[in-house]
Amino acid sequence: MSLLEINNLNIDYLTEEADVHALRGITLSLEKGDSIGLVGETGAGKTTTALSILGLLPPQQSAVRGGEIKWRGDDLLKKSSKDLEAVRGKEIAMIFQDPMTSLNPLIKVDEQVAEMIRLHDKKLSKKDSLRLALQQLLSVGIQAERCNEYPHQFSGGMKQRVVIAMALACSPNLLIADEPTTALDVTIQSQVLELMKTLIKENGTTLIMITHDLGIVSELCETIAIMYAGEILELATKDQLFDNPMHPYTHGLLASIPDVTVEKERLATLPGLPPEPTEDIKGCSFTPRCSRCIDRCRNERPVLSEEEKNHSLACFNPYRKS
């Protein structure tokens, strides 16, 4: 049994004008100890995927239009909110994008971590939980005397360390990190990444990493899923993907990464824009921007299927090596 299995997940956001198709049939499966990176442009559905796993999508403004999210075999979408709460934080924890806003400004940081611990161990006294929290904060490199401060007294990198400490406080089986470094300075980014790397290794935590930065993914993840317009277009191990990108979109993405070893006049860019998220797409969503588009692409939807071992693809006309 896989640890996490997402099958054909479809999610819409509801607005006054029309339904926005955020996810159009995502299928994904994770084994214990896996680390997967979800990569894609803004609006590709990465965060939606993450939030749907935790059941944190805004209830009135979103709707699951089909599919299932199985956690150790149980469909999370069918769980009662009480059961979901036991999973959140304890088994699946999440690190959010912006450390500036993801901490409660009125509560001291150690208490925010301690709260996480207490929520999943009701017998624990406040004092004990604070002690555990302190340890946790020390382990992410926060000085002991600063643990009793409020979030606004911390820098962005420090806050993200707090968030990481909090997410890992209950030793979750799965950690979802939603662009954990985007909001940080470049120097701080590497420190935080380094920290995450160490902690994940130590704990053997399964990881879903959301980012638009292939460089970050390559550092932390074994598997990479390329997302576009609410779909996964290509799913492969890191090495396979970088060596042999098959989907035209992946190709484009890789081409847009500056390579210091090769001198180029200009970086390649992908022409065009992603489709309107409210649009119902008949064929492949990448068609309008695709240089390898064939007739079939416009009328039939490619399904993610294993092209090679550990390398799945949703494309009728992929690049092939040789």
Partner 1 sequence: MLKYTFKRILGVIPVLMGVTFLVFTMLHLTPGDPARIILGEQASLESVQGLRDQMGLNDNFFLQFFRYCGNAVTGDLGRSYSTNRPVFSELLSAFPYTLQLATMSIAIALLLGIPFGIISSIRQYSLFDNIVTSLAMVGISIPVFWSGLLLILLFSVHLRILPPSGGSGFISMIMPAATLAAQSVAVITRMTRSSMLEIVRQDFVRTARSKGANERHVIVRHALPNALVPVITITGIQFGRLLGGAVLTEIVFSIPGVGRLLVSAIQMRDYPMVQGGVLFIAVAFCLVNLGVDLLYAYLDPRIKSQYK
Binding site for partner 1 (CB under 8 A): 54, 56, 60, 81-82, 85-90, 93-94, 96, 98, 101-107, 115-116, 119-120, 150, 152-153, 163, 166
Geometric angle at alpha carbon 69, from 65 and 75, rounded to 5°: 105
Return the number of the residue (105 or 258) whose C-beta is nearest partner 1: 105
Minimum distance of partner 1 from residue 25's CB (angstroms)? 25
Minimum distance of partner 1 from residue 160's CB (angstroms)? 12
Return the number of the residue (115 or 234) whose C-beta is nearest partner 1: 115
Return the number of the residue (140 or 314) whose C-beta is nearest partner 1: 140
- Residue 167: DSSP 8-state: H
Q: How many CB atoms sit inside 10 A of residue 73's CB? A: 9
Return the number of the residue (166 or 235) whose C-beta is nearest partner 1: 166
Return the number of the residue (102 or 211) whose C-beta is nearest partner 1: 102
Return the number of the residue (73 or 105) whose C-beta is nearest partner 1: 105
Minimum distance of partner 1 from residue 193's CB (angstroms)? 20
Minimum distance of partner 1 from residue 308's CB (angstroms)? 36
3 state DSSP class of 163? helix
Minimum distance of partner 1 from residue 65's CB (angstroms)? 22
Burial class (CB in 10 A: 0-12, 13-18, 19+), 181: buried
Query: Order of strands, edge to edge, in the sheet holding 19-30?
Result: 19-30, 4-14, 62-71, 74-75
Return the number of the residue (163 or 184) whose C-beta is nearest partner 1: 163
Minimum distance of partner 1 from residue 166's CB (angstroms)? 7
Q: Judge contact between 194 and 22, C-beta under 8 A.
A: no
Residue in the structure block whose two tokens are 């001198």: 263
**Biggest CA-to-CA distance, the chain:** 66
Helices (H), the chain: 46-54, 81-87, 109-120, 126-139, 156-167, 186-203, 214-220, 238-243, 248-255, 295-299
Torsion sign over Cα 281, 285, 290, 295: negative
Return the number of the residue (104 or 299) whose C-beta is nearest partner 1: 104
Minimum distance of partner 1 from residue 72's CB (angstroms)? 16
Minimum distance of partner 1 from residue 147's CB (angstroms)? 15
The helices-and-strands tally (H runs, E runs) of the chain is: 10, 12
User: For the range 243-247, what are the long-range contacts, defined as Cβ-Cβ under 8 Å and sequence gap of 24 or more?
Assistant: 244/311, 244/321, 245/319, 246/307, 246/311, 246/313, 246/315, 246/318, 246/319, 246/320, 247/286, 247/313, 247/314, 247/315, 247/318, 247/319
